[in-house]
Amino acid sequence: MTTYTAPIEDIKYALEHIADLESIATLPGLEEATPDLVYAVLEEAAKLAEEELASINHTGDLEGAHLIDGQVQCAKGWKHAYQAIVDGGWMAMPFPEDIGGQNLPWTLTLAVGEMWQASNMSFAIGPVLTHGAAELLAESGTDQQKALYLEKLVQGIWAGTMNLTEAAAGSDLGALKTKAVPEGDHYLITGQKIFITYGDQDLTENIIHFVLARTPDAPAGIKGISLFLVPKFLVNDDGSLGEMNDVRPVSLEHKLGLHASPTCVMSFGDHGHCIGYKVGDLNRGLAAMFTMMNNARLSVGVQGLGIAERAYQQALNYARERVQGRNLASEDRTPVSIVHHPDVKRMLLSMRARVEAMRGLIYFSAAMLDRSKRLASESERRFYQSFVDLLTPLSKAWCTDLGVEVASTGLQIHGGMGYIEETGAAQHFRDSRIAPIYEGTNGIQALDLASRKLQRDGGQSVFDLIAHMKDHIGTNSAFSAPLDTAFATLEDCTRHLVALFPQNPNAVSAAAWPYLQLFGTVFGGWVLAHGAQSAANKGHSAAYLQARQAIARFYFSHDMTHVTAYAATIREGSLAVEEFEIERL
């Protein structure tokens, strides 16, 4: 099994040339996030990922998590690794200092997250949820709730979870049945939730569950959903822990991958005394929960990126070492390592190019997030928030789809050995497969992009983003002409879906997935072209810059050729979906 090596130079490259790190350090409150500081943080995060997290990834997969006497016991090494993260202040990175944070950019936080997800995806999903819980509470909690819970969430002393899904209410949250009955200054929660990541663990002294539920007189559907804070241990007014709440894990799911990440069935109020506290307004719980959900969706995109990078590293290492077959262009019949074979080289280039495109999308999205939170002008914050809203479903869905594809390609390069668990390649593929499903399936993300994000402003945010990309690619670039054509195609398909939606929303729904793929592919082309061009005189070695140019040329000759096909499917393919009778499936 290949160990993980943090791709520091590639990460710095994306931060410099795609996220525009220097400009992030000029945002109000982020002045100390200079490149020197950012790179020092990355180096330390790399050590933690390589030495602490990667070393327990495979053993955690073999051991898994276990439910013993009503308490989840995490895999060996998990406690030590988590304590190292808390002690190092890593959980507090993006939050303000007045609540115990370090006031660093979200862009840096997600770059660190890439290394953690790549080194140990089962472990790293837990901190992602705590980050989202802290952001939710900071935005929607009462002053008292913030005083009791927020700082300990920010510092990772306590963990957070997201409790949405029920057996009879998967993605359709309007069908959920968990109840919340008022009693004095709190509510009594009863019900059961499934698929709760890190619903229980032995890493933190308390777990703060954020639970969607209905009050007795709530209207039907999503308009009747409220949000409640349910601590595992009740918290006294002085912040000390009280008695255990009436909430418990009743089983752990047996999963394809992420074996060391405890996915729990959680039961609330088995004894009629599960105490929860309302967060935000009644019947507005889903709106409040979206703060945590959107935070998680961007981080799930990071999972797709991280697992793809890990699979690429392992496949490259194997291809360099595995000797089989001769070089067909040489008279020498001596066997060579398979990295010399054109088809293997093609697969490796595909993996590398897609990883770079994904990294650019994620880091650019994070940079827009920092701008939307930090700029002084409200109009500027709204402008960049429109980019964040647009890019969140794209980052989540496109990057996780590609994460699966890249991990699968890694198996293919290993050949039969990839199908054998001992090599570790199979684990990357197994672990990757959940990411397109959870935090809203990728079909839902595509539908959100095509039917909600496009329609709310007539596609203007897409046109604004394309204008931004055009402004950041030179006219002398070898990629300018094909990019201009791709931009025009994306604009045309956007106008088509905007015009079609009032007449036939189902047709837009049927075209949503190819539209998301088109969008992601075009954005990836811009990432690789812009990065290759803007890096010309920025201190990188000549060999590195030549490699970036070659990767961009590969992407344009292999992936960007799909743009025309996606456009044809968007225009014509939805009719084939609609016309087919369900009875004939």
Cα separation values, 184 from 178, 228, 273, 425, Å: 19, 15, 13, 54
Q: The domain that contains 192 carries what CATH number?
A: 2.40.110.20
Total-model pTM: 0.96
Task: Say yes or no: 479 and 509 in one domain.
Answer: yes
The four Cα atoms 163, 164, 165, 168 give a dihedral, to 10 degrees, of: 120
What percent helix, strand, coil does the chain show, rounded to 5?
60, 10, 25
**Can you tell me the distance from the alpha carbon of 376 to that of 29, in angstroms, rounded to the nearest whole number?**
10
* DSSP code of residue 175: G
Looking at the structure, tell me whether residues 47 and 111 fall in a common domain: yes
Whether 148 and 217 map to the same domain: the answer is no
Residue 495 inside a domain? The answer is yes
Q: What is the Cα–Cα distance from 356 to 346, expressed in whole angstroms?
A: 15
Q: Are residues 127 and 201 located together in one domain of the fold?
A: no
Catalytic positions are: 439
- 16 token code pair: 């410099």
Q: Is residue 527 part of a domain?
A: yes
Alpha carbon 469 to chain centroid, angstroms: 23
Q: Tell me which of 284, 317, 346 is where a domain ends.
A: 284
Query: Angle at CA 526, nearest 5°, toward 295 and 482?
Result: 150
The answer on 255 and 165 residing in a single domain is yes
Within a domain: 303: no
Q: Domain boundary residue among 284, 309, 341?
A: 284
Kindly state whether residues 170 and 253 are assigned to the same domain: yes
**Burial (CB count within 10 angstroms: exposed 0-12, middle 13-18, buried 19+), residue 293:** middle
Which secondary structure element, helix H or strand E, spans residue 61, and what is its range? helix 57-63
Buried b (16+ CB within 10 A) or exposed e, 443-464: bebbbbbbbebbeeeebebbbb
Range of the domain at 36: 8-154
Q: Give CA 35 to chain center in angstroms.
A: 24
DSSP 376-413: S-HHHHHHHHHHHHHHHHHHHHHHHHHHHHHHHHHHHH
Residues 217, 183 share a domain: yes
Residue the block writes with tokens 């959100």: 448
Residues 466, 470, 476: CA angle, nearest 5 degrees: 155
In a domain, 566, yes or no: yes
274 and 191 in one domain?
yes
In tens digits, the chain (585 residues) has pLDDT values of 678 999 999 999 999 999 999 999 999 999 999 999 999 999 999 999 999 999 999 999 999 999 999 999 999 999 999 999 999 999 999 999 999 999 999 999 999 999 999 999 999 999 999 999 999 999 999 999 999 999 999 999 999 999 999 998 777 777 889 999 999 999 999 999 999 999 999 999 999 999 999 999 999 998 999 999 999 999 999 999 999 999 999 999 999 999 999 999 999 999 999 999 999 999 999 888 888 888 899 999 999 999 999 999 999 999 999 999 888 888 888 999 999 999 999 999 999 999 999 999 999 999 999 999 999 999 999 999 999 999 999 999 999 999 999 999 999 999 999 999 999 999 999 999 999 999 999 999 999 999 999 999 999 999 999 999 998 887 667 899 999 999 999 999 999 999 999 999 999 999 999 999 999 999 999 999 988 877 665 667 888 888 999 999 999 999 999 999 999 999 998 878 888 877 778
Task: Supply the DSSP symbol for 173.
Answer: G
Q: Does an H or E element contain 229, and which?
A: strand 226-231
Consecutive H or E run containing 68? strand 66-68
Residues 232 and 137 in one domain: no
Same domain, yes or no: 533 and 449: yes
Which residues on adjacent β-strands are paired with residue 190? 179
State the total domains in the chain: 3
Are 520 and 577 contained in the same domain? yes
The reply to whether 342 falls in a domain is no
Q: Are residues 163 and 150 in the same domain?
A: no
Asked if residue 489 belongs to a domain, the reply is yes
Residue 165 CB burial class (10 angstroms; 0-12, 13-18, ≥19): middle
Dihedrals φ, ψ of 67, to 5°? -100, 110
Q: Does any domain span residue 426?
A: no
